[in-house]
Homo-oligomer: A and B are copies of this chain.
Amino acid sequence: MRKIKLTVEYDGTHFFGFQIQKRARTVQSELESALKKLFQEKIKVIGAGRTDSGVHAEGQVAHFSTTNDVLPIFKIRLGLNRYLPEDLAVIAAEEVPPSFHAQFSAKRKRYEYRVLNSKARRPIERFRSFYFPYPLDLAKMKRTARLLSGKHDFRAFEASGGRRKHAVRMIRRLQVKKTGNIICFTVEADGFLYKMVRSIVGTLLEVGQNRLKLADFKRMITFKNRRLVGPTAPPQGLTLKQVIYR
Contacts and interface: CB of A to CB of B under 8 A. Distances in A.
Interface of A: 9-11, 56, 58, 77, 81, 86-92, 118-124, 126, 128
A120 B86 contact: no
Closest 6 CB pairs between A and B? A91-B120, A11-B123, A87-B123, A89-B121, A89-B123, A11-B124
Contacts of A123: 9-11, 86-89
B87 A120 contact: no
Copies in the complex: 2
A126 B56 contact: no
Contact of A126 (B77, B81, B86, B118): B86
A10 B126 CA distance: 11
Nearest to A10: B123
Contacts of A121: 81, 86, 89
A49 B226 CA distance: 53
Given A91-B120, A124-B128, 17 more contacts: A9-B124, A10-B123, A10-B124, A11-B123, A11-B124, A11-B126, A56-B124, A58-B122, A77-B120, A81-B120, A81-B121, A86-B121, A88-B123, A89-B120, A89-B121, A89-B123, A91-B118
B87 A126 contact: yes
A87 B126 CA distance: 8
